[in-house]
Amino acid sequence: MVSTSGRTILLVEDDPALALGLRDTLEFEGFRVIHADKGEQGLTLATQNRPDCIILDLMLPDINGYQVCERVRRMDAAVPIIMLTARGQEADKIRGLDAGADDYVTKPFSVGELIARIRALARRSQSKISKFTHVVAEGLRGWRVLLGETHGVNNETLDGCDVCSHGCNGELGRFGERVGVRRFGGS
């Protein structure tokens, strides 16, 4: 099972009672929760905090969840997004998934099932990161691979490469973070 400890979830939900209940439950499960009650605020928090997962309502007071999802995807192609909404028509689900959501859960919902879906997305995300790191390490023997903190990799050596979370000097593509390379022992 993937550890939830320290993983950050951005909850974009305008219903205060639902947001409070979800926040309490997610924090009890070990997640760090950041909450936004508007779409624009959610975009700002996503940029500032780089969450491990986003739970996104569709019907928000300023911009809708589809727009939020599309804009997040332009900034971050890899962060898992779960749409959590009362809109349960097939067309709404298709539109949400086409906008970039990884999963679509309709209200009313089971909190236990939502937690299981978050864990499943975290497992897939972690697996992609591990595979990507291995590929980079294989191709860059003798190079230092610099990964952002959300990868969960801190100062390890993989296949002859030092992997650390101390910044970035270039973009190589990412599964959740910026990645850069630097030759061992210097620039």
On whether residue 71 sits in a domain, the answer given is yes
Structure tokens that stand for 31 in this block: 């997640």
Average of per-residue pLDDT across 36-49: 97
**Whether the Cβ atoms of residue 54 and residue 34 lie closer than 8 Å to each other:** no
On whether residue 122 sits in a domain, the answer given is no
**Whether the Cβ atoms of residue 67 and residue 74 lie closer than 8 Å to each other:** no
pLDDT, one tens digit per residue, over 150-166 is 333 333 333 344 444 33
Average of per-residue pLDDT across 85-92: 94
Could you give the angle at the alpha carbon of 116 between the alpha carbons of 133 and 90, nearest 5°?
100
Structure tokens that stand for 83 in this block: 């749409």
User: Are 27 and 99 in a shared domain?
Assistant: yes
pTM of the entire structure?
A: 0.68
User: Are 41 and 92 in a shared domain?
Assistant: yes
Average of per-residue pLDDT across 67-78: 95
On whether residue 2 sits in a domain, the answer given is no
CATH assignment at residue 48: 3.40.50.2300
pLDDT, one tens digit per residue, over 97-144 is 999 999 999 999 999 999 999 999 988 876 444 333 334 444 444 444
Average of per-residue pLDDT across 1-8: 68
**Whether the Cβ atoms of residue 38 and residue 62 lie closer than 8 Å to each other:** yes
Average of per-residue pLDDT across 12-41: 96
User: Are 59 and 102 in a shared domain?
Assistant: yes
